[in-house]
Structure 1
Amino acid sequence: MTDNSTQPHNTPSPAPQNLEDRSFDAIADHFEKKVYGGLKGAIRLAVLRRDLSAQVSQLSARLGRPLRILDVGAGLAQLSIEFATAGHEVTINDISHNMLAKAKAAAAESKSAASAIEKEEGIEKVNSTDVDTNEPVKATNAALTNITWLECPYQLLDEQLDGKYDLILCHALLEWLAEPQAIMDFFDRWLAEHGVLSLCFYNPVSFDYRNLIMGNFNLLNNKDYQADNKKSLTPNNPVPKEAVNNWLTTHDYQLLSASGLRVFHDYSPLKRGGHAFPEAVIEMELRYSNQDPYKWLGRYLHYMATRA
């Protein structure tokens, strides 16, 4: 969710108890344009889609059925809509009514042929539920089939969920939570024994590196600065990968894969050569996204993990 690279990064520390989880309800249009209105969003989706498609295909084949998928803090939920189009049973959650409304509109407009994930055969379809009334509605196309929409903070999902999930998506949410570590207990409760956790989070190292390249030393030296969260998409409390690694180990998760999202694109102030061709940029981002040491410089990191 972070594309404003000119704000300073402070060393993350435990969030005060009076902080609230961030909602993008008031800036949903700005979020959609800023995060997914250009090449940055296309790169993010390309890497996540590549990582997830392989895991979903393997897990679904092993279980012999479509998956139960939960997307926590889903935002625009592009990938979850694709999974629903492919026939999986998907629950999409966000704290923001406006973000879910945008996601639902996108699902209603999408078509099965547009899904980037290969559609599975012989999957029984069920109805969706309306984001405003939470009442069942008849699905109008394949994208709406098998989707349940839940508008609430993730902490209230325990009251509405039923049964465990084969795949839990949590993308660009950790850095906006007042108490990010607490969500690990939520994962423990709702991830099936064989399940996979897809955890994508902002990488604070990328902030430092970007501003070193740009010469923004004054921002790096200003340890007291806090971004204006009324419109800013820069998190003030990002979680370093070392902390996430420790959480996963403590909760007995085994890391299956790690990728970086936007490992070079944001660091190039002079766009020349191949940078003039978006398809070439995406191709190279995909190539280096899962290679050492480049992946650890990604603006976001994508972990896929399962219970050890």
Structure 2
Amino acid sequence: MQIEDQTYQNNTHQTTSSVEQESEDKRSDRSFDDIADHFAKKVYGGLKGDIRLAVLRRDIFEYAEDMSKTLERPLRILDVGAGLAQIAIELAALGHTVAINDISANMLDKAKASIACQDTLDNTTWHACAYQKLEDKLAINKMDKFDLILCHALLEWLAEPSDIMRFFDRHLTDCGALSLCFYNPASFVYRNLIMGNFNLLENPDYKADNKKSLTPNYPVAKVEVESWLQQHEYQTVLESGLRVFHDYAPLKRGGHNNPEDVIRMELRYSNQEPFKHMGRYLHILARRL
């Protein structure tokens, strides 16, 4: 196992206190360091997390396997803003070389604790820092460019989300792939329409309490992400929606009472028009041209 001891134990990552001090005209990148337990339970403690991982596994693993066969070697993979890093850890277990990054050391501690096979740690490096500080750490560890970069549920928590595209450009190989998963702001509107929360939608000053809430106040629309990909010369390979119906059913009945059936139907409709656009999160896998 390779660990940056000083950086990992004594990193100078942002804390939530910096978020608490932000103003409307000065945002900062969000860390979940102080609510790591809440994050793990809320995001991955139930069926919502199972659906999310099922869709991402389907989208990513087959593509990674095909890429690895074409290159005739294991892939070099980077997970930026990894959180609990489930997908990255599973890819490492398949033999790929994986670098895992998050601004929160507590989140990475939880990710490491979840690893069942210790052999997985042998081809995994860990970097607890903001992604903007990751470049120097990758150089220290002599990491080459990456064949696949994962960036899941990070864009909506960055102060300047479009800036990360330049980071991808520098660290992705020619014809490498970028896996972007991000919160869908249209789903927020649609769900509150269904729930009858019209007063919330009519309040232009409404903001979730992001000291505890995992609903981002500054999500990035799909059309904007697509414009970034086009400007930076990426070609979309596939698109999926994560939780295209589960969250919109306030009354759970029939098949909703069977988690396996819910996941099966979510997978079926997650990449079909028009349902994929209704996902609470959207996943775009894009290839660099």
Cα distance in structure 2, aligned partners of 1:90 and 1:164: 12
Deviations 1:232-272 (A, max 9, x none): 10100000000001000000000000000000000001100
Deviations 1:128-170 (A, max 9, x none): xxxxxxxxxxxxx222120000000000111111310000000
The residue that corresponds to 2:38 in the other structure is: 30
1:55 aligns with one of 38, 52, 63? 63
The residue that corresponds to 1:127 in the other structure is: none
Aligned residues: 263
2:94 aligns with one of 86, 110, 113? 86
User: Which secondary structure state, in structure 2, belongs to the residue aligned with residue 143 of structure 1?
Assistant: helix
Q: CA deviation at 1:226?
A: 1.3
Cα distance in structure 2, aligned partners of 1:188 and 1:80: 20
Cα distance in structure 2, aligned partners of 1:298 and 1:39: 15
2:121 aligns with one of 144, 165, 180? 144
Cα distance in structure 2, aligned partners of 1:143 and 1:165: 18
Cα distance in structure 2, aligned partners of 1:246 and 1:106: 36
The residue that corresponds to 2:181 in the other structure is: 200
Q: CA deviation at 1:18?
A: 2.4
1:222 aligns with one of 195, 198, 203? 203
Check whether the contact 1:17–1:178 (CA below 8 A) recurs between aligned residues.
Answer: no
The residue that corresponds to 2:135 in the other structure is: 158
Structure 1 unaligned residues grouped into runs of 5+? 1-14, 112-140
Deviations 1:56-91 (A, max 9, x none): 011000000000000000000011111111110000
Cα distance in structure 1, aligned partners of 2:171 and 2:93: 23
1:58 is matched by which residue type in structure 2?
Answer: D
Q: CA deviation at 1:303?
A: 0.3
Deviations 1:183-214 (A, max 9, x none): 00000000000210000000000000000001
Cα distance in structure 1, aligned partners of 2:62 and 2:182: 20
Tell me how large the CA RMSD over aligned residues is. Answer: 1.1
1:294 aligns with one of 269, 272, 275? 275
1:42 is matched by which residue type in structure 2?
Answer: D
TM-score, reference length from structure 1: 0.84
Deviations 1:20-69 (A, max 9, x none): 10000000000000000000000000000000011101100000000000
User: Which secondary structure state, in structure 1, belongs to the residue aligned with residue 114 of structure 2?
Assistant: helix
Q: CA deviation at 1:228?
A: 1.2
Cα distance in structure 1, aligned partners of 2:230 and 2:217: 25
What percentage of residue pairs aligned between the two structures are identical? 67
Q: CA deviation at 1:229?
A: 1.3
Structure 2 unaligned residues grouped into runs of 5+? 1-22
Cα distance in structure 1, aligned partners of 2:183 and 2:170: 24
1:150 is matched by which residue type in structure 2?
Answer: H
Check whether the contact 1:84–1:142 (CA below 8 A) recurs between aligned residues.
Answer: no
After superposition, residues 147-186 of structure 1 pair within 5 angstroms as 147-161=124-138, 162-186=143-167
The residue that corresponds to 2:78 in the other structure is: 70
Cα distance in structure 2, aligned partners of 1:277 and 1:17: 46
The residue that corresponds to 1:237 in the other structure is: 218
TM-score, reference length from structure 2: 0.89
Q: CA deviation at 1:277?
A: 0.3
Is the counterpart of residue 280 in structure 1 residue 257 in structure 2?
A: no
Cα distance in structure 1, aligned partners of 2:35 and 2:95: 31
Query: Which one has more relative contact order, counting CA pairs under 8 Å at least 6 apart?
Result: 1
Cα distance in structure 1, aligned partners of 2:153 and 2:188: 15
Cα distance in structure 1, aligned partners of 2:124 and 2:130: 18
Q: CA deviation at 1:16?
A: 6.3
Check whether the contact 1:40–1:262 (CA below 8 A) recurs between aligned residues.
Answer: yes
After superposition, residues 240-279 of structure 1 pair within 5 angstroms as 240-279=221-260
After superposition, residues 76-155 of structure 1 pair within 5 angstroms as 76-107=84-115, 110-111=116-117, 141-155=118-132
User: Which secondary structure state, in structure 1, belongs to the residue aligned with residue 251 of structure 2?
Assistant: coil
Check whether the contact 1:175–1:238 (CA below 8 A) recurs between aligned residues.
Answer: yes
Check whether the contact 1:16–1:178 (CA below 8 A) recurs between aligned residues.
Answer: no
The residue that corresponds to 2:29 in the other structure is: 21
